[in-house]
Chains A and B, each alone.
Chain A
């Protein structure tokens, strides 16, 4: 029995963690993640979720406690944003290097300075190479479904890696949407209890987190990287099984109207909805534009992207993060390297939008399509849409 209700996406995210029967939550509040952890502590306080909620004193300790809990064999969940994600940074690498299947809802927000509590992707882009599997969500339903799938992916014996479920701060986390919740029974049968391969227990002592000399470090990292790359197959299988059971079908790369168009946008997160609106409007004026949405960002879904990119003539990569002195924004750089390696001839454009919660309008994307946003005259290879200089 599924239930459908209008609900704030943050609350829905915590209900998804509840449905996954998480056992330890260690978290520290930060806007715009707060509603997720507040609701989780309420569920624990009311006995509706049989878990320990650790009120840690920082995000660094949140991720550290999650590592301890996961290593001891508990299904572990946390959530953070922006400054919190950066404070965890050191431990993010350790969670993945030690193959701990923690799941985190990352509510994407701008990084200080200047301080901004509003949404963009500067936090996650600064953490993109931490060895975590990373999913991005466009709407509340995807958030709920992704959190449930995330545990199944993370805990798969061939994966054993932490998973981040990214959702945009405010523009997604704080909106009320109609969301369908699967029944506890159905989630239980999709996601059986976590059975760790190794755990910290006196009956079977193990040493975890030993250090590697130069003779072993490369092999250890290579094994980890291989596991991350190979996790894509498991991710695809889990998405397929989820689709069969719950009727909502996901893929690492999803598209909208790409079959009809030579031009496509590529984007991550909730801005996809604005772009879809622009595409519909363009279509009503007889113009064809497509949208390529990355649901999976790590491991980078090269093959799936290539399959939809290869017959395009022009691509606009739209991103909510500054390049930070790099040639282009992070997603652009990865797509450019993919295109170069495969000798494709596609014109790439790079647009930066929605920084620090700046509104994004469908008209902006219509202007992009119509080439009305001219490339800047200076050395920058990208356009920051709507910036006042």
Chain B
């Protein structure tokens, strides 16, 4: 299905489906991004969530942060659980056991629950074509268990399982390109987003909500606790990630790539890296290496978007 280009989304939806009282850290952009997304998904949404920070901060028995139906089964299976829910709603509506209305199923997981342990279940669900939206809240490590590395942790970052040392730079691998993996399933809509750019995020959720097949949203979610930055700078660091080209905002609609916010001319990655405790140990030459890679990836994205 072909969607029109991004209309400028200027309204701020009032409704709240993630209510206060949860236990997220100050400045947590995972809960912020999810809260924003839920505003657009709206009331008729069912959420399947993987184990991780958002699950733990939201639902200690007998309390809950969610005012929409929500389920948690395990860490690696949010997409499979969503498959079951979507199938059940479909057949129960067909059999007229429940009233027919447009209910949307979403699966939410962290970068660990998506790019590592949940990748197989996600691939299966995307390939089978369930009508659902998968949201990866990417804070670039396993934060819930104490900041261990994932395949989405950026090169050079210090985590508790990629500590820098005499023989280690910290994370020694480059971030896995999850949106590209999702797009390789030829689903109609894939997008990156960041709550530092709320209107871009709203518009993308709106599109994801409309397609009749699977959609995938990869949300960079600044985690002050894990990145070792002051909580009041969370929004700023999300902006820096975008403006340096480290995390470009784009969408892939029916296979066509489009940058939705152009940060050119890019700011140097050092602006993004230098204030973060997780990169504190990096030397100038390490930063130069990251700069080269970032520039090359930005150019590649422009090429995919037909801008070169």
Bitwise interface map of B from 107 to 142 toward A, beta carbon under 8 Å scored 1, else 0: 000000000000011011101100000000000000
Asked if B69 CB lies within 8 Å of chain A CBs, one says yes
Asked if B80 CB lies within 8 Å of chain A CBs, one says yes
- A28 to B79 Cα, complex, angstroms: 16
Asked if B64 CB lies within 8 Å of chain A CBs, one says yes
Bitwise interface map of B from 215 to 234 toward A, beta carbon under 8 Å scored 1, else 0: 00000000000000000000
Asked if B97 CB lies within 8 Å of chain A CBs, one says yes
CB within 8 Å of B: which A125-172 residues: none
On whether the beta carbons of B80 and A56 are closer than 8 Å, the reply is yes
Contact with B74, one of A26, A73, A94, A220 (Cβ below 8 angstroms): A94
Asked if B83 CB lies within 8 Å of chain A CBs, one says yes
Asked if B44 CB lies within 8 Å of chain A CBs, one says yes
Q: How far is the CB of B270 from chain A (nearest CB, A)?
A: 41
Given contacts A91-B74, A213-B60, contact A201 B69 (CB under 8 A): yes
- A72 to B79 Cα, complex, angstroms: 15
On whether the beta carbons of A72 and B88 are closer than 8 Å, the reply is yes
Q: Which residues of A contact B79 (CB under 8 A)?
A: 61
Asked if B82 CB lies within 8 Å of chain A CBs, one says yes
Q: How far is the CB of A200 from chain B (nearest CB, A)?
A: 4
Given contacts A57-B120, A202-B46, contact A68 B82 (CB under 8 A): yes
Given contacts A64-B77, A210-B59, contact A200 B71 (CB under 8 A): yes
Least CB separation from B45: chain A residue: A202
Contact with A74, one of B66, B81, B83, B88 (Cβ below 8 angstroms): B88
Contact with B92, one of A67, A72, A94, A209 (Cβ below 8 angstroms): A72
- A8 to B73 Cα, complex, angstroms: 35
Q: Which residues of A contact B77 (CB under 8 A)?
A: 60-61, 64, 91
On whether the beta carbons of B128 and A55 are closer than 8 Å, the reply is yes
Q: Which residues of B contact A76 (CB under 8 A)?
A: 84, 88
Q: Which residues of B contact A24 (CB under 8 A)?
A: 84, 87-88, 91
- A193 to B90 Cα, complex, angstroms: 17
Given contacts A24-B84, A193-B97, contact A207 B91 (CB under 8 A): no
Q: Which residues of A contact B271 (CB under 8 A)?
A: none
Given contacts A50-B94, A210-B64, A211-B59, contact A66 B73 (CB under 8 A): no
On whether the beta carbons of B66 and A90 are closer than 8 Å, the reply is no
On whether the beta carbons of B69 and A65 are closer than 8 Å, the reply is no
On whether the beta carbons of B44 and A202 are closer than 8 Å, the reply is yes
Interface of A is mostly: mixed
Q: Which residues of A contact B71 (CB under 8 A)?
A: 67-68, 71, 200, 207-209
- A58 to B122 Cα, complex, angstroms: 12
Asked if A227 CB lies within 8 Å of chain B CBs, one says no
On whether the beta carbons of B61 and A65 are closer than 8 Å, the reply is no
On whether the beta carbons of B80 and A68 are closer than 8 Å, the reply is yes
Q: How far is the CB of A181 from chain B (nearest CB, A)?
A: 23
Q: Which residues of B contact A352 (CB under 8 A)?
A: none
Contact with A200, one of B46, B63, B80 (Cβ below 8 angstroms): B46
Given contacts A52-B90, A72-B89, A210-B62, contact A23 B95 (CB under 8 A): yes
Asked if B157 CB lies within 8 Å of chain A CBs, one says no
Q: How far is the CB of A214 from chain B (nearest CB, A)?
A: 11
Asked if A51 CB lies within 8 Å of chain B CBs, one says yes
Asked if B48 CB lies within 8 Å of chain A CBs, one says yes
On whether the beta carbons of A205 and B91 are closer than 8 Å, the reply is no
Q: Which residues of A contact B207 (CB under 8 A)?
A: none
Given contacts A65-B87, A201-B98, contact A212 B61 (CB under 8 A): yes
Q: How far is the CB of A88 from chain B (nearest CB, A)?
A: 11
- A64 to B90 Cα, complex, angstroms: 17
- A208 to B71 Cα, complex, angstroms: 5
CB within 8 Å of B: which A1-40 residues: 23-24, 26
On whether the beta carbons of B84 and A67 are closer than 8 Å, the reply is yes
Asked if A54 CB lies within 8 Å of chain B CBs, one says yes
Least CB separation from A60: chain B residue: B77
Least CB separation from A57: chain B residue: B124
CB within 8 Å of B: which A189-213 residues: 193, 200-202, 204-213
Asked if B56 CB lies within 8 Å of chain A CBs, one says yes
Least CB separation from A28: chain B residue: B124
Asked if B76 CB lies within 8 Å of chain A CBs, one says yes
Which of B55, B76, B77, B124 gathers the greatest number of chain A CB atoms within 10 Å?
B77
Asked if B155 CB lies within 8 Å of chain A CBs, one says no
- A266 to B286 Cα, complex, angstroms: 69
Q: How far is the CB of A373 from chain B (nearest CB, A)?
A: 45
On whether the beta carbons of B81 and A65 are closer than 8 Å, the reply is yes
Least CB separation from B79: chain A residue: A61
Q: How far is the CB of A245 from chain B (nearest CB, A)?
A: 25
On whether the beta carbons of A208 and B70 are closer than 8 Å, the reply is yes
Given contacts A50-B91, A67-B84, contact A207 B60 (CB under 8 A): no
On whether the beta carbons of B88 and A73 are closer than 8 Å, the reply is yes
Asked if B85 CB lies within 8 Å of chain A CBs, one says yes
Asked if B103 CB lies within 8 Å of chain A CBs, one says yes
Least CB separation from B46: chain A residue: A200
CB within 8 Å of B: which A87-103 residues: 90-91, 94, 98
Least CB separation from B55: chain A residue: A211
Q: Could you jot down 5 A-B contacts, CB within 8 Å?
A: A54-B84, A61-B124, A72-B84, A73-B92, A211-B60
Q: Pick the 4 closest A-B CB pairs, nearest first.
A: A68-B84, A57-B124, A65-B84, A72-B88
**Apart from A52-B87, A67-B71, A211-B72, what 8 extra A-B contacts exist at CB < 8 Å?**
A57-B127, A68-B71, A72-B92, A73-B97, A90-B74, A200-B69, A211-B60, A216-B62
Mark A residues whose CB is within 8 Å of B: 23-24, 26, 50-52, 54-58, 60-62, 64-74, 76, 90-91, 94, 98, 193, 200-202, 204-213, 216, 220
